[in-house]
Chains A and B, each alone.
Chain A
Amino acid sequence: MTPQKRLILKALMASTLLAWGTAQAEEAFKIGLILPMTGPFASTGKQIEAAARLYMAQNGATVAGKKVELIVKDDTSAPDVTKRIAQELVVNDKVQVLAGFGLTPLALATAPLATQSKTPMVVMAAATSSITQASPFVVRTSFTLPQAAVAIADWAPNNGIRKAVTLVSDYGPGIDAEKFFKDRFTFNGGQVVDSLRVPMRNPDFAPFLQKVRDLKPDAVYVFVPSGAGAALMKQFAERGMDKAGIRLIGTGDITDDDILNSMGDVAMGVVTSHHYSTSHASALNKKFVAAFEKANPGMRPNFMAVGGYDGMRVIYEAAKATKGAGGEPLLNAMKGQIFESPRGPMFIDAQTRDVVHNIYIRKVERVNGQLYNQEFATLTDVKDPGKAK
């Protein structure tokens, strides 16, 4: 064989391989999963990725005869990076659906892109009410903050809490949490004595908690990012506020299942409202938790994981209905899905494309030596109050 012939043969082989490769790619159903995998919100990304992979492992890697390809990208929780990655995924990788989105600004930065490219965008974590209004292609499987805030504001006045002080981190979700709690709590006959906003880069909660203590409310309603929640609860206990008759209530973010166990006794008895607890009593959830913990030793699935898991379910079922096609048909197949999630029954509201599910009132208790949010009351089928108007 002459060198020229060998070269031609090689080129031929390469091109056949290449052609075969692209043919394969066209057969794949691609999901672009954009998550904060590094930086301060890395735990969100890790939980969602683990849950998404678990769903694929349980339900097979093919849907409607096409191979499901999960492309996970790290956006370091910077909105401009999220947008750039989304663009690359849509243009270069030709993904059928975008998913993930750990924080509100990340989802909002990407929403216009979803509209332009007609790519459905499944929000698995970000919780500000307005996200689903940013693009008609957004579908949410996590939760909305107002859902949780309103639930605890309904529960509190019936349980001896008439006067409350709100204490929130001074950023979008915190202000959402404050507003919806305040409105509903006042509507229910309660009184919000004062509303404190803590700067995001606040090293010490002492002065704010002292202020709360001196105002002597029945309870302090708290919303802070989950890591800061641990510090806050500690200082709450250290300041003897529980002994002064002040109760700590809030949305489930402060007793995040992911880190609840390491908070220790200071978290005991804290009452929160949320859509998911690892200890939710249902056969499906027990199975989910066991499988998750088996696949990821040392990790406990939290509300982020369940958002990712259900997001994958919504994508899979929609893809089955459209036989793997993307775009608007895929979006329409996502709307109105009703199913049982590890969190309990849930559905995707066809009008708002937002999640509707039960919100549970839970109390932190020790079960088998571990701390859990034990659910003791349920508000069924809570729609996002942010869209009621």
Chain B
Amino acid sequence: MLTLLFDGIAYGMLLFILAVGLSVTMGLMNFINLAHGAFAMLGGYLTVVAMQRYDWPFLACLPLAFGLSAGVGVLLERTLYRPMYGKPHLDQVLFSIGLAFMAVAVADYTMGSQQQIMQLPDWLRGRTEWFADTPWALGMGHYRLFIIAVCALLTLVLQHVLAATRFGSRLRASVDDARVARGLGIPVERVFAITFAVGSGLAGLGGALGAEVLGLDPTFPLKFMVYFLIVVAVGGTSSITGPLLAALLLGVADVAGKYFIPKLGAFIVYALMIALLIWRPQGLFARGRS
């Protein structure tokens, strides 16, 4: 039983890292970026290429995936996204879904359409068993343990930056009222650019971590778009804790659902989402909006 919970949490953590960038751009910057998964895919492919062609160690690949995805994020933010900020949501959706399709085609052309296979270092491959042969048996794959650790750490850092640093308060100010913030001398543009970059970078990191568990092929951005959107919709977009709890809930529900009712497996998540959204249309942890 505990093994299931553990797998669910690992899966949820991964979803959280992948989706948190989307929640930031959507909630804080009021911009709908459906191409978010493309950054995750970029991170995944970077890791696979760096490990297979250039023999980089796995741990070195993670910062690389974060850094380069963030870099590409800044570049695109400067050139393509910025003119879209003021546009209606429909335009943003059409624009970013187009971008996602382009990313799919580029990945297909350059990397081929097959699933990428990653070889983890040995120290991440093992498994630890506790209380074996009891109803509370807990088996932990080391890689999943690693995912949980990395994601938990990132969550703490993000929460701290948003709530307790100068940058965090500037960001929140810029979001609440960009005009007044600008008047107060806050470089709103730069704040948004940095936020966007960090969001893309986190997606890249999530893609790198997730390639092993979720698989990696050119349809990745489209395949997981739904999951990202569910996390954001259920979690609400006004905080870090909302998406985190939503992602964990979804991860555990998905794993448990597939375990106990395999026939309905894939449907559980959607049922849960519908139920939650009927109960709290603004998301689980949203501040009441006026």
What is A's interface to B at a CB cutoff of 8 Å?
38-43, 196-199, 201-204, 206-208, 210-211, 227-228, 230-231, 234, 237-240, 259, 262-264
A316–B112 alpha-carbon span in the complex (Å):
32
A240–B132 alpha-carbon span in the complex (Å):
12
A40–B214 alpha-carbon span in the complex (Å):
16
What is B's interface to A at a CB cutoff of 8 Å?
3-4, 7, 11, 108, 112-115, 117, 119, 125, 127, 129, 139, 141, 143, 212-215, 217, 219, 223-224, 227, 254-259, 262-263, 265-266
| A240 and B127 contact, CB distance less than 8 A | yes
Residue of A nearest to B52 (CB): A262
Measured between beta carbons, the chain A residues less than 8 angstroms from B212 are 234
Measured between beta carbons, the chain B residues less than 8 angstroms from A201 are 223, 266
| A42 and B262 contact, CB distance less than 8 A | no
Measured between beta carbons, the chain B residues less than 8 angstroms from A211 are 258-259, 262
A181–B289 alpha-carbon span in the complex (Å):
57
Measured between beta carbons, the chain B residues less than 8 angstroms from A199 are 265-266
**The one of B127, B214, B224, B259 that contacts A238, using a Cβ cutoff of 8 Å:** B127
A197–B129 alpha-carbon span in the complex (Å):
27
A361–B26 alpha-carbon span in the complex (Å):
54
| A39 and B117 contact, CB distance less than 8 A | no
| A227 and B214 contact, CB distance less than 8 A | no
A207–B254 alpha-carbon span in the complex (Å):
9
Main secondary structure of the interface of B (DSSP, over half): helix
Q: Which 4 A-B pairs have the closest CB atoms?
A: A227-B115, A207-B258, A199-B266, A207-B259
| B265 and A39 contact, CB distance less than 8 A | no
| A240 and B125 contact, CB distance less than 8 A | no
Residue of A nearest to B226 (CB): A201
| B139 and A240 contact, CB distance less than 8 A | yes
**The one of A196, A240, A262 that contacts B129, using a Cβ cutoff of 8 Å:** A240
A240–B257 alpha-carbon span in the complex (Å):
22
Q: How far is the CB of A230 from chain B (nearest CB, A)?
A: 5
**The one of B112, B215, B263 that contacts A197, using a Cβ cutoff of 8 Å:** B263
Take A203-B223, A207-B256 as given contacts and tell me if A227 and B108 are in contact as well, using a CB distance cutoff of 8 Å.
no
| A204 and B127 contact, CB distance less than 8 A | no
A239–B138 alpha-carbon span in the complex (Å):
11
Measured between beta carbons, the chain B residues less than 8 angstroms from A204 are 7, 11, 213-214, 254-255
Q: How far is the CB of B127 from chain A (nearest CB, A)?
A: 5
A263–B255 alpha-carbon span in the complex (Å):
25
Measured between beta carbons, the chain B residues less than 8 angstroms from A259 are 114, 117
**The one of B115, B141, B224, B258 that contacts A208, using a Cβ cutoff of 8 Å:** B258
**The one of B7, B127, B217, B223 that contacts A206, using a Cβ cutoff of 8 Å:** B7
Residue of A nearest to B266 (CB): A199
**The one of B108, B127, B227, B255 that contacts A207, using a Cβ cutoff of 8 Å:** B255
For A202, A203, A231, A263, the residue with the greatest tally of chain B CB atoms inside 10 Å of its CB is A203
| B262 and A197 contact, CB distance less than 8 A | yes
Measured between beta carbons, the chain A residues less than 8 angstroms from B108 are 38-39
Q: How far is the CB of B115 from chain A (nearest CB, A)?
A: 3
5 contacts between A and B (CB under 8 A): A42-B114, A203-B227, A227-B115, A227-B217, A228-B215
Q: How far is the CB of A14 from chain B (nearest CB, A)?
A: 39
Take A207-B4, A210-B4 as given contacts and tell me if A239 and B258 are in contact as well, using a CB distance cutoff of 8 Å.
no
| B266 and A40 contact, CB distance less than 8 A | no
A239–B257 alpha-carbon span in the complex (Å):
19
Given contacts A197-B265, A201-B266, 11 further A-B contacts (CB under 8 A): A41-B113, A42-B112, A198-B262, A204-B213, A204-B255, A208-B262, A210-B4, A227-B115, A228-B215, A238-B143, A240-B127
| A203 and B215 contact, CB distance less than 8 A | yes
**The one of B114, B215, B254, B265 that contacts A43, using a Cβ cutoff of 8 Å:** B114
A204–B216 alpha-carbon span in the complex (Å):
12
Measured between beta carbons, the chain A residues less than 8 angstroms from B213 are 203-204, 206
| A230 and B259 contact, CB distance less than 8 A | no
| B214 and A198 contact, CB distance less than 8 A | no
Q: How far is the CB of A257 from chain B (nearest CB, A)?
A: 14
| B139 and A239 contact, CB distance less than 8 A | yes
Measured between beta carbons, the chain B residues less than 8 angstroms from A239 are 127, 139, 141
| B114 and A227 contact, CB distance less than 8 A | yes
A211–B115 alpha-carbon span in the complex (Å):
25
| A40 and B215 contact, CB distance less than 8 A | no
Residue of A nearest to B256 (CB): A207
| A198 and B217 contact, CB distance less than 8 A | no
| B4 and A264 contact, CB distance less than 8 A | no
Measured between beta carbons, the chain A residues less than 8 angstroms from B219 are 40
Measured between beta carbons, the chain A residues less than 8 angstroms from B255 are 204, 206-207
Take A43-B114, A204-B255 as given contacts and tell me if A196 and B4 are in contact as well, using a CB distance cutoff of 8 Å.
no
A235–B262 alpha-carbon span in the complex (Å):
18
Measured between beta carbons, the chain B residues less than 8 angstroms from A263 are 117
Residue of A nearest to B137 (CB): A214
